[in-house]
Amino acid sequence: MTAYLTTAEQAAWNALSADVRADIAVETETRDFQDSAELVNIRLSLVRFSSPDLAAAFKSDGYQAAEKILMNMGSADMQAMPETDLAELFYVIGPRGMHTLIGMMLAQVEDADDAKFVAFLSMARAELLDSFLVAA
């Protein structure tokens, strides 16, 4: 498994214990994407969720649906979420949102599973950057 981390993220990564980081290679991520509220708005109008709850949550009057989803997440099985919906969630977040998410999760790594999840998020960010930067 490979983690694609910025220089700043690598400093936090390297501060983790060696056993936590074991078996995860690191490559440097140098790219960035300048996001904006305008672009997020466009993305929200492009996504198509198969889950009716998710579709409702991302409508402009979807506060109640978003709240319901968040309330129900304690027992939610994200593995059961359709892959297409997961893909749309990543698209809404975008590379810049992923950057913040990775930073937050990096600060909370305690074990190897935590580290693997950070690596997974960083890989998703790298793929998002590929798509966003080619299209820009």
120 binds another protein, rule: CB under 8 A: yes
∠ Cα 77 83 84 (to 5°) = 130
Binding to another protein (CB under 8 A): which residues in 36-55? 36-47
Question: Which of 26/66 has CB closer to another protein?
Answer: 66
Long-range interactions of 57-61: CB distance < 8 A, separation 24+: 58/92
**Contact mark string toward another protein, 4..33, x via CB under 8 A:** --x-xx--------------------xxx-
What's the closest the beta carbon of residue 18 comes to another protein, in angstroms? 19
Question: Which of 26/81 has CB closer to another protein?
Answer: 81
Q: Give the DSSP H or E segment for 10.
A: helix 7-14
Question: Which of 18/133 has CB closer to another protein?
Answer: 133
Binding to another protein (CB under 8 A): which residues in 59-118? 59-60, 62-63, 66-67, 69-71, 73-74, 76-79, 81, 83-84, 86-87, 89-94, 96-101, 103-105, 108-110, 113-114, 116-117
Question: Which of 18/61 has CB closer to another protein?
Answer: 61
Who contacts 129 (Cβ-Cβ below 8 Å, separation ≥6)? 29, 31, 32, 33, 95
Length of the chain (residues) = 136
What's the closest the beta carbon of residue 103 comes to another protein, in angstroms? 7
CA–CA distance from 91 to each of 19, 30, 47, 70, 129 (Å)?
32, 20, 8, 19, 10
